[in-house]
Structures are given as C-alpha cells and as structure tokens.
Amino acid sequence: MIIMKNKSGIIGYIIIKIIIVLLLLYFFKNPEIFATSGYDLAIQGIVVCRGMSLITAIYVLSGLLDTLINNSKG
C-alpha cells in the first residue's frame, strides 16, 4: 500500500500505472509481437506470453485501484 501526500506524486503514479496497463493490453491484443522471426513452433510460447500479459495487467490495475481507494479514504 502506497500512501502519497502530494498531488503530483499521486498523479504521476496513476499515469505510470495506466501506461503499464495499456502496454500490457497492447501485448495481449497483438500476439505477433512475441513470435520473432516467424517461428511456427512458438504457438505455445505465444499463449503463455498472452496469458502472462493479461494476468499482469489485472494485477497492476488491482494495485492501482487499491491505492486509489486507500488514498481517497485518508
């Protein structure tokens, strides 16, 4: 849990987390990013990478929401 006192710290934290979530969702929507040099045997790796991107995006988003809720209470 991160509690920030100044507004610029909170805004910067929110912007960075939103950029990370958008980047991870971009990776999830475009799986060809993970297949380098056109390898056909990388299908299982692509599935794993897409799954990890989605799981990480959900984790980062839940941390951001938790921080926003805790900062709004105090």
For a pLDDT cut of 70, what percent of the chain falls above it? Answer: 81
What is the reported pTM? 0.75
Q: Domain coordinates of the chain in residue numbers?
A: 7-73
pLDDT at 38: 63
Cβ pair 1, 67 in contact under 8 A = yes
Cβ neighbour number for residue 53 with a 10 Å cutoff: 21
pLDDT digit string, tens, across residues 5-26? 677 788 888 899 999 999 999 9
Q: CB atoms < 10 A from the CB of 48, how many?
A: 12
Q: Is the pLDDT at 37 greater than 60, yes or no?
A: yes
| Residue 72: pLDDT over 60 | yes
What residues contact residue 63 under an 8 Å CB cut-off, 6+ apart? 17
